[in-house]
């Protein structure tokens, strides 16, 4: 397999201003345009630079531990009625696909001569990954986190601090991920000369959606080749959970040109889309502008952002990356909601059949796959092969899951 | 020429800067915000900037965020902000609306422009809409005769500065601080430098907002800008008051002090 995770491929690209059809673009204060242009230039130059690609490839291999395995989950497959291949991003350093994006952006930060990175985080996964890269690259690191989240994810706050980051609890608005993102934007406007805003998903203003997608694209490039090697063919479907959308785009991108391969993104359906308590921006939202990009947004009749709800902190965001909005409109990918309960049932199933504790985010991809398998089998008239992006491990979710299943010993 | 342009011209002829006072619509209530803005006009504020409260105001500092949250918690709707514009425009002062883009897009860009024009608003200040993404707004503002104020920043290149002012009508907003509303400039020459760079590429008046809170600061900004834009300090008068009457009194006092300041430019 190629160690060059950034080698050009002929996947879909936005226009030069970052528009994916009617989505994407830049809805930002003028004060940020110069920094976004600088980033766009640095990214394009880096992508064309062999030495950057080699450095990134070496980091992914030697530090992050990629390529991640493609593992045939036989006992899970038997329960599901499909040949399920898990892309084991949970085995990466820091426990999720996010490390790929963070290493890419940290390298770019160095190239731009900036000395400070800031990040937003919900559950703390992206914050931990950013703090990790900041330690490795000797960058100052400030992580914005909603106060509600710093309280429910106290361990990840401690992890970030151990790694040398400053964690700032955000007390504005709903005090969750979207407010942390607002606060990071405010910091960036004020400190843009020395600071890079290391956005944690394929959302935000151009060039972030396309750039982040490129940094995580190795997931799909690897999985496609691994599937060919293992099965002699391409899968019938590729599935992933969709929060902001980075892990899903990361695995989709390599398959977009393979017309026979169906692409499924599973959004957080919370208590059910009909209840209004969910985070399914594509299924349950409408087109709008949030955090610098035009995309699907959970909003009220006046365009005020609505609060999202999900058992999974990493999916609990009222927007989605613009490329997904576009893939949805074009019909190339299908987006469906998965409720908290469905996700937790699949979470338990993977634990018990394979001895793998998935991130609750990734459990949404598993649950969607469980529902998809019989339909696909009926349609194809044979057992389908499905590649699932197991985007992260569940260590961070032990408390939430333990609570959900009622298996925590009562506090003494 | 637009009504705001006329007001700027008159101030220029009088050898002073124009005072622009900003307040979120619906803060603390719809009626309360009309009373506050009316008091500001009576005490000497020349132009009222009605901000449409938004859930995610990334360009605003803590004071305006808090006021916006209060307005939204009170249930203010975009349609209410039109009512505020109409009531304040009735005082005779030009009223410009400042809004993040999503509420406009959601309302419908052309319908929004039509309703704003019929409420007597002069135009829009758009903190998160750059001309690059503004085709629909350019068309709607032309169709309904509204002004367009885009922002320029110290980090804008000369090319972007020229492009941006080329799309402005009425006046240009110079965000002289790299940061949110209410913040003070780190260096004292960032603002005058940006104003002179802007003047080099346009004849439109240039308004400056950079955390002005006193008459003396207003006088300093009036020394190099055509308009002094004050937000957080005025909002704080209402936020910190223990009663509506106390808030209005504080607003009148500060407005009068600022009005005095813009009449004594420090050159
Ligand atoms: C393991 C894992 N998967 C998925 C996500 C969702 O993000 P994205 O949609 O960008 O992949 C997160 C976010 O924190 C995560 O930690």
B115 counts as catalytic: no
* Within a domain: B213: yes
* Within a domain: B51: yes
* Within a domain: A200: yes
* Within a domain: A412: no
Q: What is the pLDDT of residue A5?
A: 63
Asked if pLDDT for residue B187 goes beyond 70, the answer is no
Same domain flag for A80 and A107 = no
Q: What are phi and psi of A223, to 5 degrees?
A: -60, -40
Please state the rounded mean pLDDT for residues A111-135: 96
Instruction: Tell how far the Cα of B20 is from the centroid of ligand 1, in angstroms.
Output: 44
**Could you tell me what percent of chain B has a pLDDT over 90?**
90
Same domain flag for A199 and A286 = no
Q: Which domain holds residue B113?
A: 3-262
Tokens of B159: 């090319």
Same domain flag for A128 and A169 = yes
Pocket test for ligand 1, best of A96, A208, A210 (most atoms within 8 A of CB): A96
Asked if pLDDT for residue B259 goes beyond 60, the answer is yes
Same domain flag for A226 and A364 = yes
A192 to chain B, any CB pair closer than 8 A? The answer is: yes
Give the separation between CA A57 and CA A355, rounded to whole angstroms: 30
| Residue appearing with tokens 């005095």 | B260
pLDDT tens digits for range B30-87: 999 999 999 999 999 999 999 999 999 999 989 999 999 999 999 999 999 999 999 9
Which letter does DSSP use for residue A75 in this model? H
pLDDT tens digits for range A353-404: 999 999 999 999 999 999 999 999 999 999 999 999 999 999 999 999 999 9
pLDDT tens digits for range B224-237: 999 999 999 999 99
Domain boundary among A196, A212, A228: A212
* Within a domain: A14: no
* Within a domain: B207: yes
Q: What are phi and psi of A324, to 5 degrees?
A: -65, -40
- CATH number reported for the structural domain that contains residue B66 in this entry: 3.20.20.70
Same domain flag for A303 and A225 = yes
Q: Contact, A96 vs A393, CB < 8 A?
A: yes
Q: What is the pLDDT of residue B189?
A: 81
Cα–Cα–Cα angle for B257, B170, B68, rounded to 5 degrees? 60
Same domain flag for A206 and A128 = yes
pLDDT tens digits for range B9-36: 999 999 999 999 999 999 999 999 999 9
Give the separation between CA A387 and CA A371, rounded to whole angstroms: 14
Secondary structure of residue A8 in the 3-state scheme:
coil
Q: How many structural domains comprise chain B?
A: 1
Cα–Cα nearest to B154, from A198, A26, A192, A39: A192
Query: What CA–CA distances, in Å, run from A250 to A89, A137, A174, A246, B41?
Result: 11, 24, 30, 6, 55
Tokens of A80: 């599901």
Residue of A nearest to B161 (CA): A30
From atom 7 of ligand 1, which residue's Cα is the shortest distance away? A243
Q: Contact, A200 vs A292, CB < 8 A?
A: no
Which letter does DSSP use for residue A31 in this model? G
* Within a domain: B227: yes
Asked if pLDDT for residue A6 goes beyond 80, the answer is no
Pocket test for ligand 1, best of A216, A241, A282, A318 (most atoms within 8 A of CB): A241
* Within a domain: A3: no
Q: What is the pLDDT of residue B188?
A: 63
Domain boundary among A172, A196, A212: A212
* Burial of A371: CB neighbours in 10 Å, binned 0-12, 13-18, 19+: middle
Asked if pLDDT for residue A302 goes beyond 50, the answer is yes
* Within a domain: B107: yes
> Listing from the earlier edge strand, what are the strands of the sheet with A166-170?
A166-170, A140-146, A116-121, A195-197
Chain A positions in Cβ-Cβ contact with residue B175 (cut-off 8 Å) = 29-31
Q: Contact, B219 vs B228, CB < 8 A?
A: no
Q: What is the pLDDT of residue A2?
A: 43
Beta-sheet pairing, B123-125 with B95-98:
parallel
Cα–Cα nearest to B15, from B164, B159, B187, B222: B222
Q: What is the pLDDT of residue A169?
A: 96
* Within a domain: A134: yes
Three-state SS for A251-315 is HHHHHCCCCCCEEEEEEEEECEHHHCECCCHHHHCEEEEECCEEEEECECCCCCECCCCCCCHHH
β-pair partners for A146: A170
Which letter does DSSP use for residue A3 in this model? S
Please give the mean pLDDT across all residues of chain A: 95
Please state the rounded mean pLDDT for residues B93-113: 98
Same domain flag for A340 and A392 = yes
Domain boundary among A174, A189, A212: A212
First-last CA distance in chain B: 28
Are the beta carbons of A302 and B106 separated by less than 8 Å? yes
* Within a domain: A7: no
- CATH number reported for the structural domain that contains residue A297 in this entry: 3.40.50.1100
Chain A positions in Cβ-Cβ contact with residue B190 (cut-off 8 Å) = none
B49 counts as catalytic: yes
Asked if pLDDT for residue A154 goes beyond 60, the answer is yes
First-last CA distance in chain A: 52
Q: How many structural domains comprise chain A?
A: 2
Instruction: Tell how far the Cα of A126 is from the centroid of ligand 1, in angstroms.
Output: 8
Q: Contact, B113 vs B143, CB < 8 A?
A: yes
Q: Which domain holds residue A178?
A: 19-64+98-212
């Amino acid at each position: 397999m190629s160690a060059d995770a950034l080698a050009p491929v002929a996947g879909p690209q936005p226009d030069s201003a970052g528009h994916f059809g009617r989505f994407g673009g830049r809805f930002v204060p003028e004060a940020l345009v110069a920094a976004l242009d600088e980033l766009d230039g640095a990214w394009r130059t880096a992508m064309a630079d062999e030495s950057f690609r080699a450095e990134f490839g070496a980091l992914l291999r030697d530090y992050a531990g990629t390529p991640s395995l493609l593992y045939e989950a036989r006992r899970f497959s038997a329960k599901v009625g499909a040949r399920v291949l898990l892309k084991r991003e949970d085995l990466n350093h820091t426990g999720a696909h996010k490390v790929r994006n963070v290493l890419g952006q940290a390298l770019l930060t160095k190239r731009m001569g900036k000395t400070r990175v800031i990040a937003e985080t919900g559950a703390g996964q992206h914050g931990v990954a950013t703090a990790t890269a900041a330690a490795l690259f000797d960058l100052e690191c400030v992580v914005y986190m909603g106060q509600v989240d710093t309280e429910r994810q106290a361990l990840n706050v401690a992890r970030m601090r151990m790694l040398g980051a400053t964690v700032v609890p955000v007390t504005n608005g709903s005090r969750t991920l979207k407010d942390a993102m607002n606060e990071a934007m405010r910091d960036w406007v004020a400190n843009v000369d020395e600071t890079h805003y290391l956005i944690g998903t394929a959302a935000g203003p151009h060039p972030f959606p396309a750039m982040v997608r490129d940094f995580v694209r190795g997931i799909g490039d690897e999985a496609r080749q691994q599937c060919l090697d293992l099965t002699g063919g391409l899968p019938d479907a590729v599935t992933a959970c969709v929060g902001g959308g980075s892990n899903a785009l990361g695995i989709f991108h390599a398959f977009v040109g393979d017309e026979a391969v169906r692409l499924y993104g599973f959004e957080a359906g919370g208590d059910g889309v009909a209840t209004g308590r969910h985070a399914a921006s594509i299924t349950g939202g409408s087109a709008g502008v949030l955090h610098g990009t035009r995309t699907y947004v959970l909003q009220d009749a006046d365009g005020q952002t609505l609060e999202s709800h999900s058992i999974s902190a990493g999916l609990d965001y009222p927007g989605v990356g613009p490329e997904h909005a576009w893939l949805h409109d074009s019909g190339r990918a299908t987006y469906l909601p998965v409720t908290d309960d469905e996700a937790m049932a699949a979470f338990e199933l993977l634990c018990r059949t394979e001895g793998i504790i998935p991130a609750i985010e990734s459990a949404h991809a598993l649950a969607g796959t469980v529902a998809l398998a019989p339909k696909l089998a009926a349609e194809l008239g044979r057992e389908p092969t499905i590649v699932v992006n197991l985007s992260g491990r569940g260590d961070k979710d032990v408390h939430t899951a333990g609570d959900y299943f009622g298996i925590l010993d009562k506090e003494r | 020429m637009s009504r705001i342009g006329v007001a700027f011209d008159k101030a220029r002829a009088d050898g002073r800067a124009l005072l622009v006072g900003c307040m979120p619509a619906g803060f603390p209530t719809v009626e309360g915000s009309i009373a506050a803005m009316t008091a500001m006009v009576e005490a000497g504020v020349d132009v009222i900037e009605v901000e449409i409260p938004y859930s995610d105001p990334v360009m605003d500092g803590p004071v305006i965020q808090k006021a916006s949250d209060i307005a939204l918690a009170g249930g203010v709707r975009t349609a209410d902000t039109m009512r505020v514009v109409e009531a304040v425009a009735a005082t005779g002062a030009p009223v410009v609306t400042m809004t993040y883009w999503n509420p406009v897009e959601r309302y419908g860009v052309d319908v929004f422009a039509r309703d704003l024009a019929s409420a007597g608003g002069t135009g829009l200040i758009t903190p998160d809409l750059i001309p690059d993404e503004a085709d629909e707004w350019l068309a709607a503002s032309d169709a309904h005769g509204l002004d367009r104020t885009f922002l320029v920043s110290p980090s804008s290149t000369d090319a972007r500065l020229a492009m941006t002012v080329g799309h402005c009508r009425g006046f240009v907003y110079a965000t002289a601080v790299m940061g949110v509303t209410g913040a003070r400039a780190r260096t004292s020459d960032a603002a005058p430098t940006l104003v002179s760079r802007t003047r080099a590429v346009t004849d439109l008046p240039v308004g400056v907002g950079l955390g002005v809170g006193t008459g003396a600061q207003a006088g300093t900004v009036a020394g190099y800008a055509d308009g002094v834009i004050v937000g957080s300090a005025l909002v704080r008068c209402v936020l910190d008051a223990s009663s509506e009457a106390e808030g209005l009194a504080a607003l009148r006092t500060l407005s009068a002090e600022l009005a005095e300041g813009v009449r004594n430019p420090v050159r």
